[in-house]
Amino acid sequence: MAKSFSIQNPEALADAIRSLDDVASESVLRQAAVAGAREVFSEVRLRAPVDLGIYEGKQGMHPSGFLRDNILIAYDKEQSVEGRIASYLVTWSKDAFYGRFLEYGTSKMAARPFLRPAYEATKTAAAAAVDAVIQAKVKELTSGK
């Protein structure tokens, strides 16, 4: 094993190290987190239960597929740490509040989970999407483009 080494181009090494600071920026962190969340989001939309009828509630008419159409990706400010952790949630809008009853069940209705199984099915793909965004940014910044 080598006990010493020499650097042929110290300026290039310093530039490469400085460019890696940009990879760890808030912008890249958020882009990567959103890429992972999109993987889960698309699977949740596919698995969301769709009733064939139209439900009229206190908030008005809920057409078929209302829950599926109200699945969204939201930035979680409380769980995020600026520059270190960007946390995004795949959830339903407040108009589709009944998603929690379907996901977890009630005392009179069995659970019909769709959110957790979608996460379990896509967590590897989501991690790969996050990694791909970060690797692309590293390549972009270290190649001088």
Kindly report, residue by residue over 24-56, the tens digit of the pLDDT.
677 888 899 999 999 999 999 999 999 877 777
Condensed to tens digits (0 to 9), the pLDDT of residues 70-120 reads 999 999 999 988 878 889 999 999 988 889 999 999 999 999 999 999 999
The pLDDT of residue 20 is 62
Beta strands at 88-92 and 55-57: parallel, antiparallel or unpaired = unpaired
Task: Band the pLDDT of 21: cuts 50, 70, 90.
Answer: low
Residue 131: closest CA among 23, 21, 22: 23
pLDDT at site 24: 66
Question: What residue has token string 């939201």?
Answer: 74
How many C-beta atoms lie closer than 10 Å to residue 18's C-beta? 10
> Among 12-16, 71-75, 134-138, which stretch is predicted with the lowest mean pLDDT?
12-16
pLDDT band (50, 70, 90) for residue 130: very high
Q: Which amino acid is at 12?
A: A
Calculate the alpha carbon distances from 129 to 17, 30, 102, 116 in Å.
24, 12, 28, 19
Does 136 have pLDDT greater than 70? yes
Q: Is the pLDDT of residue 145 over 60?
A: no
Q: In the numeric block, which tokens belong to residue 52?
A: 């064939």
The per-residue pLDDT for 1 is 55
